[in-house]
Amino acid sequence: MSSPQSYRPQVSNDLSGRVALVTGGGTGIGLMISQGLAAAGAKVYITGRRLEVLEKVAAGWDKQIGGQILALQTDVTDKASIASTKKYIEEKEGKLHILVNNAGQTGPRSPFLSDPSAPENRNAESVGMSLFNNESFEGWAEHYTINSASIFFVTNAFLGLLAKGSEDEAGYWSSVINITSISGVIKLAQEHFCYNSAKAAATHLTKMFSTELALKNIPVRVNSIAPGIYASEMTLDEIKPEQVDQVGKGVQAVPSKRAGTGQEMAGTVVYLVSRAGGYVHGQEIIIDGGYTAVNPSTI
């Protein structure tokens, strides 16, 4: 039976001694996550294409809070870059406990979808041909590469190191968290069919990874988090209450009437990768202020 001390939040959520890698960890939601993991005691490597952005974040981290944040330039759409990053972590740490697949972008958009009076929405022919002409196979392929395929390649590259991390403490497995989106479960296009379908693919990748690893007795947990309206480079640097529904583009307003906070995002990740969330496998936690409760979705 667990000791009374193990039920204290500061014990069950403590990430001291854990090594984490957060893709796209220098801005927006990735930054919220990186700082939350470090504050909980983890050593956090943040990756991205723009080294100067990563280094600024790392240099600005107050180590008195706890943990560490280290910059590591990586392109998650390039296998050689992923392999190079894996080799670096292997040489420096020899293992990995936490992988957060967060890197992503918005992709092709068709803004006229949200404007009932737009001429493109006049009839079936105009809607269909406007979407056909406005977007491209190349745009869709590029978007799927970063928003879903990168999860496949990055996770597989680090799988051996994650399994190695699970050897540190019996029953305390390493963890993969895929940052998806409510757009992957919402049946509205929200002006971007491509983004929403790619995020749905990321959600299903989470479930497939969890099942395949379990069947192969690989001690790595895989879960995902689907954020609702959060400030980021893909939305706005700051989202005021009156802007929430403009960003969400739902048919009903967000019940919480505000954007999500960094504390809520980071706290959800810390829960899933810590001892507190150690019994969670193959699940997606939606943190959306009630968006999916009042808008058409697949859940």
Which residues are known to be catalytic? 181, 195, 199
Three-state DSSP at 100 gives strand
The set of residues, in sequence order, having a beta carbon less than 8 Å from that of 193 and lying 6+ positions away, is: 108, 110, 131, 135
What are the two backbone dihedrals, phi and then psi, of residue 94, each rounded to the nearest 5 degrees?
75, 0
User: Largest alpha-carbon pair distance within the chain?
Assistant: 67
With beta carbons less than 8 A apart as the criterion, state whether 258 and 241 touch.
yes
Other CB atoms within a 10 A radius of the CB of residue 167 amount to 12
CB-count exposure of residue 12 (10 Å: 0-12, 13-18, 19+): middle
Host H or E run for residue 28: helix 28-39
Local structure of residue 186 (DSSP, 8 states): B
User: What is the C-alpha to C-alpha distance for residues 108 and 49, in angstroms, rounded to an integer?
Assistant: 20
- C-alpha 73: how far from chain center: 18
- Tokens coding 247: 């960003």
In which region does residue 230 sit, left (phi positive, over 0), alpha (psi from -120 to 50) or beta (all else)?
Answer: beta
Angle between helices 150-165 and 79-92 (to 10 degrees): 10
With beta carbons less than 8 A apart as the criterion, state whether 114 and 249 touch.
yes
